[in-house]
Amino acid sequence: MDLLATARSLLEQAPLCDACLGRPLADRSHGLSNAERGRALRVAVALDDDVPFEPFASGCWVCEDVCADFDDWAARVVEAFEGYAYETYQVGTRVPPLLEANGELLREAAGLPADAGEPLNREVNREVGKRVGAATGAEVDLERPDVLAILDLEADLVEPQVNSAFVYGRYRKLERGLPQTEWPCRECGGTGRRDGEPCQHCDGAGYLYADSVESLVAPPIREAMGGTDATFHGAGREDVDARMLGTGRPFVVEVTHPTDRFPDLGALEPAANAHADGRVEVEDLRLATHDMVERVKTLPARKTYRAAVAFEAPVDEAAFAAAVDALDGATIEQDTPVRVSHRRADLTRTRTAYAVEGTLDAPTEATLEVCGEGGLYIKELVDGDGGRTRPSLADLLDVPATVTALDVVAVEAEDGAFDDPAFIRSAP
């Protein structure tokens, strides 16, 4: 390519600002901005033609002087995020079709390919972004920034977007009859009314339970972060009538539109526990990344349960020990339990009971501790669910058995750890 000849062809399309002159040749002389490249080309043409140098003033027909307003756009972005705490940002630009067409016409007139150089939106993103970073000290993040500003050039607007913030921790549920998340009434769809009357199934509340782990834990976190809403994500969930004890269950609270994504976690943990009023306890609260939500929800986990078991007839101690030994390390086949068949597909699942121990406390009472693969249904491992779980304690003993109380005492990742440092975020 004859660079000077190309520059002359571009300059024939005057008035043309330095940035629009340099942009079609953005793949030449790396390390220069388009404006620096364009000014250098303008000077080189003037020197080669031995004519007076005429700097560009205003009125560029290609960008309509957008490239002269980078400082102003950056200041508007910084202003749009005043009052928000953030470490990372990104700038995006919505370019009017007319300006895109102008760039295509400029390249065509100079005999350049339609994709020569770089598009206008990329330059605006970079140049405005550099100025935002210099003004705030924040870092560019092209994947998932704390804040994102969309520059709408045609509407002359900055559209700010504040992405969610995340807090990771573990919770213990200390009472039974408390669901993990809100439980809308199936009969009225959560409206509290049916056929124009208060729903009889939920007494008009719209929910089957007044409180949940979510309602006890999420509000203090949302308040500390100044967010508009909060969503609770758990690493699985225990039955409503089961407690979550021991090391607790991993969870993430996602706070939308936070003004402070770096709260004082040392103060937040006791505040959350005070709000839960002894019904739920949280610990090990830490800031987390967006990817922690997916990790908590999908990472395979092994769980340890302690179950109080009642038998309908006396059980011999030797027979009980033999049944426990048969379950210890066994591969369990479970058809979808009847009690959850209304919300789970009817499948046969194979799970491993890694370790099973038991104590016969009385001829008709026992305590069973099971460490099992994630997804192993413990109640059905005991009662057999009418033959839908194979083997089961009840079938091995040939005595009907029921779980009368169930506690989860540990939830641990099968491989690695939920709180892998790669998914934990440090405060600035």
As a whole-number percent, the residues of the chain with pLDDT over 70 amount to: 100
pLDDT in tens, 2-56: 888 888 988 988 899 999 999 999 988 788 999 999 999 999 999 998 888 989 9
Cis amide prior to 391 (ω within 30 degrees): yes
CA pair distance 209, 224, nearest whole angstrom? 26
Position 1 scores a pLDDT of 62
Mean pLDDT within 137-154 = 97
Active site residues: 239
Q: How confident is the model at residue 424 (pLDDT cuts 50, 70, 90)?
A: very high
**Which residue did the predictor score with more confidence, 197 or 368?**
368
Query: Is the pLDDT at 184 greater than 90, yes or no?
Result: no
The pLDDT of residue 357: 98
Region for residue 358 given its phi and psi (left: phi exceeds 0; alpha: psi -120 to 50; beta: otherwise): beta
Mean predicted confidence (pLDDT) in 101-119 = 92
Instruction: Give the residue-averaged pLDDT of 159-176.
Output: 98
Alpha helices for 254-358 (secondary structure H):
265-276, 291-298, 317-327
Domains of the chain, start order:
3-162 (3.30.2300.10), 165-298 (3.30.70.2510), 301-413 (3.30.70.3190)
Confidence class of residue 202 from pLDDT cuts 50, 70 and 90?
A: confident
Determine phi and psi for 29, rounding to 5 degrees.
55, 70
Q: What is the mean pLDDT of residues 170-198?
A: 90
The per-residue pLDDT of the chain, averaged, comes to 94
pLDDT band at residue 183, thresholds of 50, 70 and 90?
Answer: confident
User: What pLDDT score was predicted for residue 214?
Assistant: 97
**CA 8 to CA 24: how far, in whole Å?**
13
The pLDDT value recorded for residue 298 is 94
Peptide bond into 258 cis (omega under 30): no
Percent with pLDDT over 90 in the chain: 82
311, burial (CB in 10 Å: exposed 0-12, middle 13-18, buried 19+): buried
Whole-number pLDDT of residue 294: 96
Average pLDDT value for residue range 227-253? 97
* CB neighbour list of residue 2: distance below 8 Å, 6 or more residues apart: none
Lowest mean pLDDT: which of 175-179, 302-306, 344-348, 372-376?
A: 344-348
Position 159 scores a pLDDT of 98
pLDDT interval class at 206 (50, 70, 90): confident
* pLDDT(290) > 90: yes
Between residues 339 and 170, the one the model is more confident about: 170
Res. 185 pLDDT band, cuts 50 70 90: confident
